[in-house]
């Protein structure tokens, strides 16, 4: 804690009346906190969201200009590139300030538990280590520029179905090992100014009034110093919430706080000190945001630098899933005609729906980008091939097939219609909607040199996977997505994204299949075996595994070097040399997994405990080093209510994906 801030807080606190104190604990509208003019306290201003500044709510008044629409959360995480993510956080801070705000409501780090959840596009991963590292970088970048984050949604908010009142029933190990570690990492490594509590209940208690989550764990165990704000409309009580640890009820005007909270103090239902503690945290937040010092909000929005960064992020995230016969990259020098098919080619989806949506100043579609890059070199033909939502019609397919037959290569953009993935609603199924699968099938029959480009934020079934040579996932790539995907397809940029969620073959294979969506109670019956932890343990082959992503070059993983022995409580150092053995520059995400060979409780086959993205020219090599701390070997023991490392043998597995393990070494951890 900053002693200067603390002394200021105490000084102001003594001057506030009870009514004034309580006024600071609710918004005055959807986005502003209360001002107290006589003490020079101005309103703190918040806005969404995790991949761009939301400006469609007109508050504050400066919310007029559009903002840079970056790729969404799943793209941000699929870069596996925290340094790049930190740069994006800094750019988001500049845009937030330029648009007159102090807090940007992100990052959204919800664990992706089920492929149909509506906000998967906005979140990061099925794995808490990836989510934690990505969220930490995002918060550091943002707050490093003086804008506050709101780490959300705490906790176990993993589906949209019944999100306002659903009860996530999670065992303690799964809570600790899967649904909390990423929040813990971001809090300990980046100290977000705020944490946003989720709508749902966790084991019967609303997150907005859950003392165990908000006070015992978040503050008591992890040392969180900031303010807890409710999700919009997530507060349901007065006494339980203030005593549970909820500081700011949003949106305003006050509903359960305000007059009811003043009354609760006055009729001795609660001690005024409970209010004081929340007010202290709000005053700290207001001071940090400069709201007691009339700090000018500077910043810049939609600059060429931000546009370039949006493109760089999209390029770094795009994931090459399949590339048979090295069909990609397309070489403009050796092809005459390309057929571009699919509605998403001309109408790119830059995001899913809901509060995270950003109104961009422009957007570049894949078709526009391809046409401008290939102008005069390659003929680019286009046909929609199908509608957006409605079922496909054979005459539309026939028009597309006519082009496919004439072309040297086909680029089929198969994506979601607008808002098909959105906050507030889960997907009804895991198929590409509107008969796109049929379009792909027939186009592949017309021309084997077909590339399917996915424009979606979560896994889809691919019944045609064996009929196409290449598949690229561009996710929701933001306003510069067309330029980014064109650069990848034409080889100007070598793809380096990796999946942060497993892509299953069919819905029945997924970990939460038997328990999703649940009713009012959502039973997390798969316990700690979410994502790749489940597929590994059950021996179910996914369509594409966690951590998968191909490159236009190849990488050699040399023998693992480093410690063969360690001690409980001490870190273990692991080194490995990686070489680019191909003929073009490329980036590789070196992934390190740990396997506990013997444990007193069931553990996953392996768990991700380290990753680094390296950029190498042809023939170049570098040594990647990992410092594995105690948590890398530990599991949470529910009886001991503590993380434990059981001495014994562990495997360290290093590879290019969770299934493409290239090197293995044993480490003995001694008691």
Positions marked catalytic:
231
Give me 8's structure tokens. 């200021």
Residue 381 CA to residue 374 CA, distance in Å, equals 11
CB nearer to ligand GLC: pick between 344 and 355:
355
To ligand GLC, the closest distance from the beta carbon of 249 in angstroms equals 13
- Asked whether position 232 contacts ligand GLC by CB under 6 A, the answer is yes
Write phi, then psi, for 654 (nearest 5 degrees): -120, 130
Going by DSSP bridges, is the β-strand pair 379-383/337-341 parallel, antiparallel, or unpaired? parallel
Helices assigned H by DSSP within 229-271: 239-244, 259-266
CB nearer to ligand GLC: pick between 213 and 264:
213
Residue 60 CA to residue 30 CA, distance in Å, equals 10
551 CB burial (10 A radius; 0-12, 13-18, 19+) = buried
Give me 522's structure tokens. 């959502």
Residues 36-55 that bind ligand GLC (CB under 6 A): 48
**163 and 131 in contact (C-beta within 8 Å)?**
no
391 CB burial (10 A radius; 0-12, 13-18, 19+) = exposed
- Asked whether position 77 contacts ligand GLC by CB under 6 A, the answer is no
CA-nearest of 605, 531, 344 to 452 is: 344
Residue indicated by tokens 């992020």 = 313
Residue 240 CA to residue 392 CA, distance in Å, equals 53
To ligand GLC, the closest distance from the beta carbon of 72 in angstroms equals 13
Give me 2's structure tokens. 């900053």
To ligand GLC, the closest distance from the beta carbon of 107 in angstroms equals 10
To ligand GLC, the closest distance from the beta carbon of 153 in angstroms equals 6
End-to-end CA distance of the chain: 35
Out of 105, 170, 489, 499, name the contact with ligand GLC by CB under 6 A. 105
- Asked whether position 249 contacts ligand GLC by CB under 6 A, the answer is no
To ligand GLC, the closest distance from the beta carbon of 152 in angstroms equals 5
Residue 557 CA to residue 579 CA, distance in Å, equals 7
To ligand GLC, the closest distance from the beta carbon of 560 in angstroms equals 41
CB nearer to ligand GLC: pick between 422 and 658:
422
- Asked whether position 355 contacts ligand GLC by CB under 6 A, the answer is yes
Give me 587's structure tokens. 């980036």
**503 and 549 in contact (C-beta within 8 Å)?**
no
To ligand GLC, the closest distance from the beta carbon of 105 in angstroms equals 4
Give me 79's structure tokens. 């870069």
Q: How many residues bind ligand GLC (CB under 6 A)?
A: 6
Give me 219's structure tokens. 């503050």
H or E element, residue 522: strand 521-523
273 CB burial (10 A radius; 0-12, 13-18, 19+) = exposed
CB nearer to ligand GLC: pick between 103 and 392:
103
Give me 486's structure tokens. 């064109």
CB nearer to ligand GLC: pick between 164 and 643:
164
Residue 59 CA to residue 67 CA, distance in Å, equals 14
CB nearer to ligand GLC: pick between 196 and 400:
196
Binding mask 107-146 for ligand GLC (x = CB under 6 A): ----------------------------------------
CB nearer to ligand GLC: pick between 354 and 433:
354
To ligand GLC, the closest distance from the beta carbon of 171 in angstroms equals 25
Residues 143-162 that bind ligand GLC (CB under 6 A): 152
Residue 77 CA to residue 99 CA, distance in Å, equals 25
Binding mask 558-577 for ligand GLC (x = CB under 6 A): --------------------
To ligand GLC, the closest distance from the beta carbon of 123 in angstroms equals 11
Rounded to 10 deg, the angle between the 304-317 and 82-98 helix axes is 150
CB nearer to ligand GLC: pick between 75 and 483:
75
Hey, which residues does 586 pair with through a beta bridge?
616
- Asked whether position 197 contacts ligand GLC by CB under 6 A, the answer is no
Out of 86, 126, 177, 231, name the contact with ligand GLC by CB under 6 A. 231
Residue 278 CA to residue 245 CA, distance in Å, equals 8
The per-type count for the chain, helices as H runs and strands as E runs, is: 18, 25
Residue 346 CA to residue 56 CA, distance in Å, equals 24
Count CB neighbours of 457 within 10 A: 31
H or E element, residue 172: helix 172-174
**143 and 190 in contact (C-beta within 8 Å)?**
yes
Write phi, then psi, for 653 (nearest 5 degrees): -115, 125
To ligand GLC, the closest distance from the beta carbon of 504 in angstroms equals 26
CB nearer to ligand GLC: pick between 86 and 231:
231
CB nearer to ligand GLC: pick between 152 and 548:
152
Residue 97 CA to residue 632 CA, distance in Å, equals 38
CB nearer to ligand GLC: pick between 232 and 513:
232
To ligand GLC, the closest distance from the beta carbon of 101 in angstroms equals 12
Interface ranges with ligand GLC (CB under 6 A): 48, 105, 152, 231-232, 355
């Amino acid at each position: 804690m900053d002693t200067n801030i603390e002394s200021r807080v105490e000084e102001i606190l003594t001057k506030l009346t009870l009514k004034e104190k309580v006024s600071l604990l609710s918004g005055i509208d959807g986005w502003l906190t209360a001002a107290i003019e006589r003490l020079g306290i101005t309103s703190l201003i918040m806005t969404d969201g995790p991949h761009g500044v939301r400006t469609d709510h007109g508050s504050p008044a400066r919310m007029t200009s559009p903002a840079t629409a970056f790729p969404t959360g799943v793209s941000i995480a699929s870069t596996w590139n925290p340094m790049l993510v930190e740069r994006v956080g800094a750019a988001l801070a500049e845009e937030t300030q330029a648009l007159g705000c102090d807090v940007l409501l992100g990052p959204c780090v919800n664990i992706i538990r089920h492929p149909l959840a509506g906000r998967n596009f906005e979140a990061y991963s099925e794995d808490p280590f990836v989510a934690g590292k990505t969220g930490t970088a995002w918060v550091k970048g943002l707050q490093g520029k003086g804008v506050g984050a709101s780490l959300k949604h705490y906790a176990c908010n993993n589906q949209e179905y019944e999100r306002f009142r659903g009860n996530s029933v999670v065992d303690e190990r799964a809570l600790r090992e899967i649904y909390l570690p990423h929040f813990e990492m971001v809090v300990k490594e980046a100290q977000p100014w705020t944490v946003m509590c989720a709508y749902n209940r966790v084991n019967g208690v609303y997150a907005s009034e859950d003392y165990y989550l908000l006070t015992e764990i978040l503050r008591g165990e992890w040392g969180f110093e900031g303010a807890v704000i409710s999700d919009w409309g997530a507060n349901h009580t007065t006494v339980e919430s203030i005593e549970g640890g909820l500081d700011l009820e949003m949106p305003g005007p006050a509903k359960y706080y305000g007059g009811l909270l003043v009354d609760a103090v006055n009729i001795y239902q609660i001690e005024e000190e409970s209010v004081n503690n929340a007010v202290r945290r709000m005053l700290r937040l207001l001071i940090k945001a400069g709201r007691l010092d009339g700090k000018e909000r500077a910043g810049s929005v939609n600059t060429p630098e931000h546009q370039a960064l949006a493109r760089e992020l999209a390029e770094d995230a795009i994931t090459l899933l399949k590339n048979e016969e090295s069909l990609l990259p397309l070489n403009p020098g050796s092809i005459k005609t390309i057929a571009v098919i699919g509605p998403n080619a001309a109408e790119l989806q830059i995001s899913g729906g809901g509060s995270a949506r950003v109104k961009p100043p422009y957007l570049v579609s894949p078709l526009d980008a391809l046409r401008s890059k290939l102008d005069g070199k390659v003929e680019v033909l286009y046909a929609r091939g199908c509608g957006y939502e409605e079922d496909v019609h054979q005459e539309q397919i026939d028009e597309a097939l006519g082009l496919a037959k004439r072309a040297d290569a086909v680029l089929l953009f198969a994506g979601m219609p607008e808002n098909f993935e959105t906050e507030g609603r889960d997907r009804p199924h895991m198929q590409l909607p509107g008969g796109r699968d049929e379009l792909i099938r027939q186009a592949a029959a017309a021309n084997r040199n077909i590339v399917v480009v996915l424009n979606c934020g979560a896994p889809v079934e691919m019944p045609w996977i064996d009929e196409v040579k290449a598949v690229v996932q561009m996710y929701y790539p933001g306003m510069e997505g067309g330029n980014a995907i064109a650069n990848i397809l034409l080889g100007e940029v070598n793809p380096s994204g990796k999946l942060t969620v497993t892509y299953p073959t069919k819905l029945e294979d997924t970990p939460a299949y038997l328990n999703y969506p649940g009713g009012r109670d959502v039973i997390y019956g798969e316990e700690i075996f979410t994502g790749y932890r489940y597929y590994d343990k059950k021996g179910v082959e996914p369509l594409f595994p966690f951590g998968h992503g191909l490159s236009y070059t190849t990488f050699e993983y040399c023998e693992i070097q480093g410690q063969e022995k360690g001690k409980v409580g001490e870190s273990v150092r692991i080194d490995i040399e990686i070489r680019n053995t191909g003929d073009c520059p490329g980036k590789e995400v070196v992934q390190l997994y740990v396997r506990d060979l013997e444990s007193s409780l069931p553990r996953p086959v392996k768990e991700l405990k380290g990753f680094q993205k390296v950029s190498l020219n042809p023939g170049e090599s570098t040594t990647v080093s990992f410092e594995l701390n105690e948590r890398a070997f530990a599991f949470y023991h529910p009886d001991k209510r503590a993380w434990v490392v059981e001495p014994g043998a562990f495997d360290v597995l290093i590879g290019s994906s969770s299934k493409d393990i290239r090197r293995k070494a044993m480490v003995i951890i001694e008691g």
